[in-house]
Amino acid sequence: MTNRFILLCCCLALLLLCAVAFPLYAETGKELFEEECSSCHSIGGEPLVGPDLKGVTAKKDREWLIEFITNPQAMIDKGDAYALKIYKEYEEEEMPDYEELGRDNIESVLAYIESQSGGAGTQAAPAAKITFSDEDVSKGMDLFVGTQQLKNGGAACISCHATSSIKSPVGGSLGPDLTKVAERKRGGRGLIGWMKSPPSKTMRPIYKKRPLEEDEVHALVAYLVSEKEHEVQTAGVLKFFGTGIVGAAVVLGLFALVWVKRFRAVRSPLVEG
């Protein structure tokens, strides 16, 4: 009887410990998720740069998730079917590895995701539409080219990037051209999330120490969204003028043919006579 009582007490103590520890574990995971993951992922919201993670712990087993988060590129390189599916579905978007987090921290992130995936109450409300003013676009361009410095001392975007308005040799070439970046990041909302905590291997160490402020992110995204629209408008204008030039050349060619025939019709009788 005594042994059973001790065993029962131990079981109850263990359950109590789990009941207390899991919320604390999930709280640590929440902080890490917001710092490392929220720039690209939501939980119960619309997909951003990467997929929404609500219920992900029910889709794949824990070991697979830990391995993928630790080094996603290694999973892709070895041909894992599910990793490749996500990679292609999200336009081959680069996901950084998180080896430095370690297993315990990754487990805590998964615990947080799991805690937020349980009921309808965790479903995010419909996101409000993001709007940008002309002032936002102007400020964003100033920040992009560096005529207005970033508050925390980060490098201006032009150091590494160009856009349709700012081409080389003025714009940088170390990073990709950002004209279509808003489209690649699934619109302004996805781009805002990405820029709050850039996950790329080059930008991550730079802007983790010198993060962009909320108003700077908003302005830069406004400029980059406008660049996509500017490219579309420019393409439309060029197409219009190109069509006009081709049309004019065809009309002039027809006039030339008609005039040559008319000229021969007048001159031939005179010459023959």
pLDDT digits (tens, 9 = 90+) for 41-66: 889 887 788 889 999 999 999 999 99
Phi, psi of 109 (to 5 degrees): -65, -45
pLDDT of 95 > 90? The answer is no
Q: Which range has the worst mean pLDDT, 10-14, 37-41, 95-99, 117-121? A: 10-14
Exposure of 47 by Cβ count < 10 A (0-12 exposed, 13-18 middle, 19+ buried)? middle
pLDDT of 119 > 70? The answer is no
pLDDT of 161 > 80? The answer is yes
Residue-level pLDDT at 230 = 53
Q: Which range has the worst mean pLDDT, 6-20, 222-236, 250-264? A: 6-20
Q: Which range has the worst mean pLDDT, 41-50, 57-66, 128-137, 248-257? A: 248-257
CATH superfamily of 20-122: Cytochrome c-like domain (1.10.760.10)
Residues of the chain with CATH 1.10.760.10: 20-122, 134-229
Residue-level pLDDT at 240 = 42
Mean pLDDT of 12-23: 43
Cβ atoms of 160 and 175 within 8 Å: the answer is yes
From 196, 200, 220, 191, select the one nearest 210 (Cα to Cα).
196
CA distance 40 to 125: 18
From 138, 128, 129, 130, select the one nearest 226 (Cα to Cα).
138
CATH among 1.10.760.10, 3.90.1820.10, 3.40.50.720, 3.40.190.10 for 134-229: 1.10.760.10
Mean pLDDT of 11-23: 44
Write the DSSP string, 173-220: -SS---TTHHHHTTHHHHHHHHHHS--STTHHHHHHHSPPPHHHHHHH
Cβ atoms of 52 and 41 within 8 Å: the answer is yes
Residue-level pLDDT at 198 = 81
pLDDT of 122 > 70? The answer is no
From 194, 199, 186, select the one nearest 220 (Cα to Cα).
194
